C-alpha cells in the first residue's frame, strides 16, 4: 500500500485528480496508475481502489445498489472480507440477464454481499424487455420488493460504457442504433444513453432505478477506465449523475484533452 501511494505521488496523480474533479464538476476523483486497455491487471487495481473508497463510506446497514460489467465485478472481487455479519443489503440496479453470468449485476451483488457479511436480492429480468412487460413485471411481489429496496439505496456503484459498444453488446435493433448514432450518443450507464453534453438520448425500457431516483442516493460512484472510454466518462459526468469517479491514468489524461 505504501509503494502504491508512492507511485501515485510520483506520477503526480494527486494533482490530476484535483484538476479532473474541478473540470468535471464532481465531488471526488480517484485515479489509479496505468491503462486497463493496455494491461488487464489494471482493472483489478481499479476495482481494489474503488473497494477501498467504498470501505470508507459503508455503514453497517447500508443498502448498496450496483450494475453489471467487468469493472464493477472487480470492485466486488477487490473487496476484502470486511465483516462476517452485518445488516448490509446488496441489490442489482439492472436485471441484465442475457449477458455473461459472471458480469451480471445479480452475480456481482452476491459476491459483494458475502464480502460484507450481508444479504443480497436478485432481479431476474432480461435486459431487452419491452415497456409493457416491464410495467406488469414491476407488480410481481418479488420484483416489487427488489425495486423498493433499490429506491432506498444509499450507495450506487455503476459502470460506464461507450454507447456504440453497449448498443452492439445488447443487440439493440438497427433502428435504435441508428437513432443513437443520429443523436450523437456517446455514453451508456444504468440503461441510459447520453450525448456529449450529458443529455439523455435514449432510455432502455427495463430500468428500475431511474435518474429521478438517483437524486435520493447519497453516494453515486462511477467506476470506469481505459483511454477509449474517456468521452463516455465525460458525458456521464456531465449528465449530473456522478459524485465520485474511480478511473485510470489512461482515461484521465484523455479526459483532460476533452474538458
Give the interface with ligand F6P as residue ranges (CB under 6 A).
67-72, 96, 158-161, 166, 188-190
CB of 72 to ligand F6P, least distance (A): 6
Nearer CB in complex with ligand F6P: 117/198:
198
SS3 195: strand
19 vs 129 by CB, closer to ligand F6P: 129
Residue 120 CB, nearest distance to ligand F6P (Å)?
17
Q: Which residue's beta carbon is nearest to the bound ligand F6P?
A: 161
Burial (Cβ within 10 Å: 0-12, 13-18, ≥19) of residue 204: buried
Smallest separation, CB 93 to ligand F6P (Å): 9
In the complex, least distance from residue 33 CB atom to ligand F6P, rounded to whole angstroms: 19
Is residue 174 packed enough to be buried (19+ CB in 10 Å), middle (13-18) or exposed (0-12)?
Answer: exposed
The residue (of 5 and 102) whose beta carbon lies closer to ligand F6P is: 102
Residues whose CB falls within 8 Å of the CB of residue 6, separated by 6 or more in sequence, listed in order: none
As measured in angstroms, the least distance from the Cβ of 191 to ligand F6P is: 7
The smaller minimum CB distance to ligand F6P, of residues 120 and 158, is found at 158
Which is nearer to ligand F6P, 165 or 256 (by Cβ)? 165
* Of residues 172 and 189, the one with the C-beta less far from ligand F6P: 189
CB 21 → ligand F6P: shortest distance, Å? 22
Q: Which residues of 47-84 are buried (b: 16+ CB within 10 A; e: fewer)?
A: bbbbbbbbeeebeeebbbbbbbbebbbbbbbbbeebee
Which stretches within the chain are classed as H helix?
Answer: 2-10, 13-24, 41-57, 70-78, 105-115, 131-137, 141-150, 163-169, 174-182, 211-214, 230-238, 249-258
Is residue 74 within 8 A of residue 40, CB to CB? The reply is: no
Going by the DSSP 8-state scheme, the letter that residue 7 receives in this structure is H
CB 194 within 8 A of CB 160: no
Residue 34 or 159: the one with the smaller Cβ distance to ligand F6P is 159
Q: Grid coordinates in use for 113?
A: 454481499
CB of 7 to ligand F6P, least distance (A): 24
Amino acid at each position: 500500500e505504501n509503494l502504491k501511494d508512492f507511485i501515485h505521488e510520483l506520477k503526480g496523480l494527486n494533482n490530476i485528480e484535483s484538476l479532473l474533479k474541478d473540470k468535471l464538476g464532481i465531488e471526488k476523483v480517484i485515479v489509479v496508475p496505468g491503462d486497463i486497455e493496455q494491461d488487464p491487471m489494471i482493472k483489478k487495481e481499479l476495482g481494489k481502489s474503488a473497494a477501498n473508497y467504498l470501505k470508507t463510506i459503508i455503514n453497517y446497514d447500508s443498502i448498496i445498489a450496483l450494475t453489471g460489467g467487468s469493472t464493477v465485478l472487480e470492485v466486488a472481487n477487490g473487496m476484502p472480507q470486511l465483516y462476517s455479519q452485518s445488516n448490509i443489503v446488496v441489490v442489482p440496479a439492472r436485471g441484465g440477464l442475457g449477458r455473461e453470468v459472471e458480469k451480471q449485476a445479480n452475480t456481482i451483488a452476491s459476491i459483494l454481499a458475502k464480502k460484507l457479511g450481508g444479504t443480497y436480492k436478485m432481479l431476474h429480468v432480461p435486459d431487452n424487455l419491452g415497456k409493457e412487460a416491464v410495467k406488469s413485471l414491476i407488480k410481481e411481489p418479488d420484483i416489487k420488493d427488489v425495486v423498493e429496496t433499490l429506491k432506498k439505496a444509499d450507495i450506487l456503484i455503476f459502470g460506464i460504457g461507450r454507447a456504440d459498444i453497449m448498443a452492439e453488446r445488447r443487440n439493440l435493433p438497427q433502428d435504435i442504433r441508428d437513432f443513437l448514432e443520429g443523436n450523437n450518443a456517446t455514453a451508456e450507464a444504468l440503461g441510459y444513453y447520453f450525448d456529449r453534453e450529458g443529455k439523455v438520448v435514449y432510455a432502455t425500457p427495463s430500468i428500475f432505478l431511474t435518474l429521478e431516483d438517483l437524486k435520493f442516493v447519497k453516494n453515486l460512484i462511477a467506476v470506469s477506465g481505459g483511454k477509449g472510454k474517456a468521452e463516455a466518462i465525460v458525458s456521464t459526468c456531465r449528465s449530473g449523475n456522478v459524485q465520485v469517479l474511480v478511473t485510470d491514468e489512461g482515461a484521465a489524461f484523455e479526459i483532460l484533452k476533452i474538458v
